[in-house]
A and B are shown apart, each in its own frame.
Chain A
Amino acid sequence: MAEKRFMTINMGPQHPATHGVLRLVLELDGEIVVKATPHIGHLHRGVEKLGENRTYHQFIPLTDRLDYTNAMGNNLAYVLAVEKLLDIEVPKRAQYLRVLMTELQRIAAHLIWLGTHVLDLGATTPIFYTFREREDILRIFDEVAGGRLTPTYMRIGGVSKDLPNGIEEKIRDFVQNFPGHVKEYETLLTENVIWLKRTKEVGIISKADAINWAVTGPTLRASGVNYDVRKAFPYSSYEQFDFDIPLGSVGDVYDRYVVRLREMEWSNSIAKQALERLPKGPVIAGDPKIPLPPKEAVMTDIASLIRQFKIASEGFQPPKGEVYASVESAKGELGFYLVSDGSNQPFRVRIRPPSFLNLSALPKMIEGSLIADVVSTIGSIDIVLGEIDR
């Protein structure tokens, strides 16, 4: 009898379906994956080390570059951690603006995912639809924050600036039209036979396994676990918004698709609520030691000029201690664990990247399945290597 032999193939790191520089070593028995070993780190920039060598304010722009499809959410997670450390109150208007922006960002991130994921599986049409709506959101960000992909909008104590004139009308237009666009995507995919064949009963992870592997986000909820940081540990006034957590039951690629579609609709609804109920008032905390003073004051008043100089060069000194704050980013629970030694730089910045842990469960999902399903599964867990490798 001939000896049983496996074939080892290398997938990536430059493969269009790996969404970045992910390398997988697959051991195959015919077309069945026996063992999968992900190799990561090609995009490692040492962000956590860099964080220890700059002031608290200076770290904000680096967070945009973690999960670059979800910059607003990354900003928010970091500033929430610093605010918790400082124990400062954020004005209501700033909290609502944060919710508005992160929910629009979640829609944009899910649209990228939807377009590229179905493109991997051979459907070239949807990406043109999804990028059309994503462009609308990025234009809104451009006007609001001055940046499309890396807006760096959040500040410690609030947000960088208030909404510009006329933008509310544009956001209102967007949230009004978006549910119709979701229906367009659904006509292309939800009952498409090829789509169903490629996604149903593929890349399954059970409820218990998903919890044990610390999978979070839509991937966890598709397995039927009702955990969303926005509900479990509300931040930034999320308890005042009315929304549901869409859940799946099987935990396959199709469920993740459905969960994300429904999540986009809820995000749209939350954005609408935030816009309707947007309170009046300041957009940054009035604390004199932490946020930068307004630019007009800096130009006219010597005390503000000195404060601007002190805060920009030295920063501030939070109390000794350690905090963890997390948000529900588009990918899952994104957390920042900060250790402060009382100086103006963090002693340790630890980022809890959702994609890192979601990817660690990938071998569990694909071992025993066909090699063609690997592409489908990688797409469905929606990884961003900028966040995994940090």
Chain B
Amino acid sequence: MAETQSPIDKLEEKFPASILEVTTFRDELTVTVAKKDLYEICKLLYSDPDFQYQFLTDLCGVDFLPETPRFQVVYLLHSMKNSRRMRLKVRVPEGESISSVESIWKAANWLEREVYDLFGIPFENHPDLRRILLWDGYEGYPLRKDYPVEGPDFDKPFVLEV
């Protein structure tokens, strides 16, 4: 995952105010960007010949309660041409939405639904934003840190509603 510095410079040149942090841990490059330019940055990373991150390996949420902004949405991008990976992170405050990248990578469709389902982060312009693993009408977002691991109703008797 060796990343030369130059392409990141290009990103910083184009979006000087939106590149918040660039870190490398265990040879993995992580770039934290501002929420407002996320879609444009993703579009550049997808199509620019220096990047060509055409494969969205993963997209997930992380809850950092009690920090603010509370959530992070993490994108793991992969460029098959350059055999490189990079991680893109966006901080999302509680109650705010984030733009969907479904129109860039179709793979984001289900992955964003999963983040919405388990963290309750809504995605703007998503064509089909429904719960995916849990059923419609489920209350709560299980992967949030304030959600009990046993579930909220584990000590209540089970009553079948007919």
Whether both chains belong to one complex is answered with yes
Report which A residues bind B (CB closer than 8 A).
40-41, 44, 46, 48-50, 52-53, 84-85, 87, 209, 211-214, 225, 227, 232-233, 321-324, 326, 333, 335, 337, 339, 347-348, 350, 352, 356-357, 360-361, 364, 389-390
Q: What are 20 A-B pairs at a CB distance below 8 A? A: A41-B134, A41-B135, A44-B134, A53-B149, A211-B54, A211-B55, A212-B54, A214-B56, A225-B80, A322-B28, A322-B87, A324-B58, A335-B57, A337-B74, A337-B76, A350-B60, A350-B62, A352-B57, A352-B58, A361-B106
Tell me if B107 counts as interface (CB < 8 A to partner A).
Answer: yes
Residue of B nearest to A359 (CB): B110
A40 to B1, CA, bound (A): 34
- Residues of B near A352 (CB, < 8 A) are 57-58, 76
A49 to B134, CA, bound (A): 14
Tell me if B34 counts as interface (CB < 8 A to partner A).
Answer: no
Q: Find out whether the CB atom of A321 lies under 8 angstroms from the CB atom of B57.
A: no
Name the contact of B57 in the complex, choosing from A85, A333, A364, A390 (C-beta under 8 A).
Answer: A333
Name the contact of A48 in the complex, choosing from B28, B57, B132, B143 (C-beta under 8 A).
Answer: B143
Closest CB-CB distance, B151 to chain A, in whole Å? Answer: 9
Q: Find out whether the CB atom of B55 lies under 8 angstroms from the CB atom of A356.
A: no
Q: Find out whether the CB atom of A324 lies under 8 angstroms from the CB atom of B87.
A: yes
Tell me if B18 counts as interface (CB < 8 A to partner A).
Answer: no
Q: Find out whether the CB atom of A356 lies under 8 angstroms from the CB atom of B110.
A: yes
Q: Find out whether the CB atom of A324 lies under 8 angstroms from the CB atom of B60.
A: no
- Residues of A near B149 (CB, < 8 A) are 46, 49-50, 52-53
A52 to B63, CA, bound (A): 12
Q: Find out whether the CB atom of B55 lies under 8 angstroms from the CB atom of A360.
A: no
A184 to B66, CA, bound (A): 60
Closest CB-CB distance, A215 to chain B, in whole Å? Answer: 8
**Chain B positions 107-123 with a Cβ under 8 Å from a chain A Cβ:** 107, 109-111, 118
Closest CB-CB distance, A358 to chain B, in whole Å? Answer: 10
Q: Find out whether the CB atom of A323 lies under 8 angstroms from the CB atom of B58.
A: no
CB-CB under 8 A for A350 and B58, given A41-B132, A49-B149, A337-B76:
yes
Tell me if B25 counts as interface (CB < 8 A to partner A).
Answer: yes
Q: Find out whether the CB atom of B83 lies under 8 angstroms from the CB atom of A85.
A: no
A227 to B82, CA, bound (A): 12
Tell me if B91 counts as interface (CB < 8 A to partner A).
Answer: no
A389 to B85, CA, bound (A): 26
Name the contact of B142 in the complex, choosing from A46, A209, A347, A350 (C-beta under 8 A).
Answer: A46
A18 to B133, CA, bound (A): 17
Closest CB-CB distance, A352 to chain B, in whole Å? Answer: 4
Contacts A41-B132, A232-B80 given; 10 further ones with Cβ under 8 A?
A46-B149, A48-B143, A52-B149, A212-B105, A233-B83, A322-B30, A324-B58, A324-B85, A350-B58, A364-B106
A356 to B28, CA, bound (A): 24
- Residues of B near A335 (CB, < 8 A) are 57-58, 76
A360 to B59, CA, bound (A): 14
**Chain B positions 89-141 with a Cβ under 8 Å from a chain A Cβ:** 105-107, 109-111, 118, 131-135
Q: Find out whether the CB atom of B57 lies under 8 angstroms from the CB atom of A214.
A: yes
A337 to B149, CA, bound (A): 20
Q: Find out whether the CB atom of A227 lies under 8 angstroms from the CB atom of B80.
A: yes
Interface-centre pick from A41, A85, A321 (highest chain B CB count, 10 A): A41
Q: Find out whether the CB atom of A337 lies under 8 angstroms from the CB atom of B26.
A: no
Q: Find out whether the CB atom of A213 lies under 8 angstroms from the CB atom of B107.
A: yes
Name the contact of B109 in the complex, choosing from A233, A321, A348, A360 (C-beta under 8 A).
Answer: A360
Q: Find out whether the CB atom of B80 lies under 8 angstroms from the CB atom of A323.
A: no
Q: Find out whether the CB atom of A337 lies under 8 angstroms from the CB atom of B142.
A: no
Residue of B nearest to A212 (CB): B106
- Residues of A near B109 (CB, < 8 A) are 360
- Residues of A near B55 (CB, < 8 A) are 211, 214
- Residues of A near B142 (CB, < 8 A) are 46, 49
- Residues of B near A361 (CB, < 8 A) are 106
Q: Find out whether the CB atom of A321 lies under 8 angstroms from the CB atom of B80.
A: no
Closest CB-CB distance, A228 to chain B, in whole Å? Answer: 11
- Residues of B near A41 (CB, < 8 A) are 131-135
Name the contact of B26 in the complex, choosing from A84, A339, A357, A390 (C-beta under 8 A).
Answer: A84
- Residues of B near A364 (CB, < 8 A) are 106
- Residues of B near A87 (CB, < 8 A) are 26
A348 to B63, CA, bound (A): 8
**Chain B positions 49-87 with a Cβ under 8 Å from a chain A Cβ:** 54-58, 60, 62-63, 74, 76, 80, 83, 85, 87
Residue of A nearest to B62 (CB): A348
- Residues of B near A227 (CB, < 8 A) are 80
- Residues of A near B1 (CB, < 8 A) are 233
A55 to B34, CA, bound (A): 33
A348 to B61, CA, bound (A): 9
A238 to B25, CA, bound (A): 23
Closest CB-CB distance, B27 to chain A, in whole Å? Answer: 9
A323 to B74, CA, bound (A): 12
**Chain B positions 8-35 with a Cβ under 8 Å from a chain A Cβ:** 25-26, 28, 30
Closest CB-CB distance, B109 to chain A, in whole Å? Answer: 6
A337 to B73, CA, bound (A): 13
